[in-house]
């Protein structure tokens, strides 16, 4: 009886999942830095569409793209987070979630994910707000006890480094051991740890998290200097592990990956020699592997090529299957970014599964409501049996 009920419950969850769609793509356009410069964005529709004009051929019709949502240059961090928030609830319910910031260097990826960490905590990004909510939900839900841990790593040239591993020193300064690298284990089950050797930090408040995030950012900057590269050449991944135990003693184990990707720009030929060439090849490889994985997921291909890069190996448990993914495609609106803007939007368009469409939304939500009710009554039935 119990196992059957659990199985049915899981089945209902899966259907819910299917209805919602597992891949969401939002586009975010940052403000213009130079008000006098030409802007490539012609219009932004409230339905998730936008039109881009080629600045070299302004007389031509623009290209139109369609996403789940487009955030214009005046969108605030809070507005962006509001549309992200339900994914955090999913993590607390036991789903694996991956939130990715994609786009060329300078397009606003770090702004969306981290925001300005070092000032007044105002305008903080998704990372901080998500963890705030994690604690909020865990304090509200009396039926589940949660344990929250975080890891933070950087991937550079197909090597993974722990950003939160610290050693004390005589001078009291914290030293970041950037030379050691980490192995990724494949983990088929939800709870499997893909980075068992990365330091794991139990966190109890958003203040704890902020301290760790500041440390991680500092180490990322230190690492870039030590390795003589710009931080835009590496991917940083903040992983939140959530363990929940409910009143029936059943446990959930899920993780949230928050990923600030390396800049997606194609490198200048003049720049690509020696170390830079090596770097460019690694970035191109890991981003194109990610593209392949996401495109395969969006097209529901039977084979998903996770194994081809460190990044996709690390994110495997939260890409595909029952997991939910949200990608922010970041765009710089200036005319000289036009080519990269088109590249970013084309990729984001391939990744997006907007064909579910707004027309189905209402129907879906009533179906979802019905399924939720069924699920809740199953839960009740379970509670009574115990």
**In the chain, what's the furthest Cα-to-Cα distance?**
70
The entry of ligand ADP, Mg ion, none near residue 233 (CB within 5 to 8 angstroms by kind) is none
Q: How far apart are CA 297 and CA 306, in angstroms?
A: 11
**Nearer Cβ to Mg ion (110/309):** 110
The entry of Mg ion, ligand ADP, none near residue 241 (CB within 5 to 8 angstroms by kind) is none
Please indicate if the annotation marks 109 as binding a ligand: yes
Judge whether 261 and 102 are in contact, CB under 8 Å: yes
Q: How far apart are CA 183 and CA 151, in angstroms?
A: 14
Please indicate if the annotation marks 107 as binding a ligand: yes
Q: How far apart are CA 258 and CA 301, in angstroms?
A: 25
**Binding-residue total with ligand ADP (CB under 6 A):** 12
Report helix, strand or coil for 171.
coil
Q: For ligand ADP, which residue has the nearest CB? A: 108
**Applying CB under 6 A, does 295 fall inside the site for ligand ADP?**
no
Q: How far apart are CA 342 and CA 288, in angstroms?
A: 16
**Nearer Cβ to Mg ion (110/322):** 110
* CA-to-CA separations, 45 to 49, 67, 92, in angstroms, rounded: 5, 10, 32
Give the DSSP H/E element, type plus range, for residue 60: none
The entry of Mg ion, ligand ADP, none near residue 220 (CB within 5 to 8 angstroms by kind) is none
**Nearer Cβ to ligand ADP (79/183):** 79
Q: Pick the stretch among 20-28, 107-115, 203-211, 338-346 that binds Mg ion (CB under 5 A).
A: 107-115
Q: How far apart are CA 202 and CA 193, in angstroms?
A: 15
The entry of Mg ion, ligand ADP, none near residue 111 (CB within 5 to 8 angstroms by kind) is ligand ADP
Please indicate if the annotation marks 341 as binding a ligand: no
Contact code string over 23-62 relative to ligand ADP, x by CB under 6 A: -------xx-------------------------------
Identify the CA nearest to 219 among candidates 127, 117, 354, 72.
117
**Nearer Cβ to ligand ADP (148/152):** 152
Judge whether 331 and 107 are in contact, CB under 8 Å: yes
**Applying CB under 6 A, does 313 fall inside the site for ligand ADP?**
no
Q: Pick the stretch among 108-116, 162-170, 197-205, 251-259 that binds ligand ADP (CB under 6 A).
A: 108-116
Task: In angstroms, give the least distance from the CB of 358 to ligand ADP.
Answer: 25
**Nearer Cβ to ligand ADP (24/220):** 220
Task: In angstroms, give the least distance from the CB of 333 to ligand ADP.
Answer: 11
Tokens 């789903």 belong to 95
Task: In angstroms, give the least distance from the CB of 101 to ligand ADP.
Answer: 7
Please indicate if the annotation marks 46 as binding a ligand: no
Tokens 């839960």 belong to 379
Tell which one of 110, 254, 317, 352 touches Mg ion (CB under 5 A).
110
Tell which one of 40, 110, 318, 322 touches ligand ADP (CB under 6 A).
110
**Applying CB under 5 A, does 332 fall inside the site for Mg ion?**
no
Please indicate if the annotation marks 103 as binding a ligand: yes
Judge whether 66 and 51 are in contact, CB under 8 Å: no
Tell which one of 48, 94, 108, 320 touches ligand ADP (CB under 6 A).
108
Q: CB count, 10 Å around CB of 359? A: 8
**Applying CB under 6 A, does 232 fall inside the site for ligand ADP?**
yes
* CA-to-CA separations, 31 to 35, 41, 73, in angstroms, rounded: 9, 11, 4
Q: Pick the stretch among 106-114, 145-153, 209-217, 342-350 that binds ligand ADP (CB under 6 A).
A: 106-114
Identify the CA nearest to 191 among candidates 229, 243, 128.
243
Q: CB count, 10 Å around CB of 269? A: 7
User: Which of left, alpha, beta for 251 (phi over 0: left; psi -120 to 50: alpha)?
Assistant: beta
Tell which one of 24, 111, 324, 375 touches ligand ADP (CB under 6 A).
111
* CA-to-CA separations, 287 to 82, 184, 345, 371, in angstroms, rounded: 27, 18, 14, 37
Binding-site residues, in ranges, read 103-110
Q: Provide the binding-site residues for ligand ADP, judged by CB under 6 A.
A: 30-31, 103, 105-111, 232, 330
Binding-site residues for ATP, in ranges, read 103-110
Q: Provide the binding-site residues for Mg ion, judged by CB under 5 A.
A: 109-110
């Amino acid at each position: 009886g119990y196992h059957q009920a659990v199985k049915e419950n899981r089945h209902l969850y899966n259907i819910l999942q299917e209805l919602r769609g597992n891949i969401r793509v939002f586009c975010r356009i940052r403000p213009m830095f130079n008000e006098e410069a030409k802007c490539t964005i012609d219009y932004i529709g409230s339905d998730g569409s936008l039109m881009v004009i080629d600045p070299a051929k302004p007389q031509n019709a623009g290209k139109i793209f369609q996403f789940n949502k487009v955030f214009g240059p005046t969108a605030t961090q809070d507005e962006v987070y509001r549309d992200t928030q339900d994914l955090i609830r999913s993590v607390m319910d036991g789903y694996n979630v991956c939130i990715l910031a994609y786009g060329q260097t300078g397009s606003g990826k770090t702004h969306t994910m981290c925001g300005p960490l070092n000032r007044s905590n105002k305008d903080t990004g998704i990372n901080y707000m998500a963890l705030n909510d994690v604690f909020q939900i865990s304090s509200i839900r009396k039926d589940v006890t949660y344990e929250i841990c975080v890891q933070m790593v950087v991937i550079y040239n197909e090597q993974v480094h722990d950003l939160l591993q610290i050693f004390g020193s005589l001078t009291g300064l914290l030293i970041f051991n950037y030379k050691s690298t980490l192995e990724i284990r494949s983990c088929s089950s939800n709870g499997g740890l893909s980075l068992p050797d990365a330091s794991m930090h139990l966190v109890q408040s958003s203040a704890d998290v902020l301290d760790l995030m500041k440390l991680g950012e500092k180490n990322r900057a230190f690492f870039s200097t030590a390795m003589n590269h710009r931080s835009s050449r590496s991917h940083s991944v903040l992983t939140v592990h959530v363990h929940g135990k409910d009143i029936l003693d059943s446990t959930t184990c899920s993780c949230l990956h928050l990923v600030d990707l390396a800049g997606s720009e194609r490198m200048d030929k003049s720049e690509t020699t020696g170390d830079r060439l090596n770097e460019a090849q690694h970035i191109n490889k890991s981003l194109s592997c990610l593209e392949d994985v996401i495109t395969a997921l969006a097209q529901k291909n039977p084979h998903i090529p996770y194994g081809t890069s460190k990044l996709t190996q690390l994110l495997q448990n939260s890409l595909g299957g029952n997991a939910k993914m949200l990608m922010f495609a970041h765009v710089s609106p200036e005319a000289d970014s036009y080519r990269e803007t088109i590249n970013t939007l084309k990729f984001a368009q391939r990744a997006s599964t907007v064909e579910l469409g707004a027309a189905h939304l209402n129907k879906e939500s009533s179906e979802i409501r019905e399924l939720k009710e069924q699920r809740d009554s199953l839960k009740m039935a379970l509670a009574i049996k115990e």
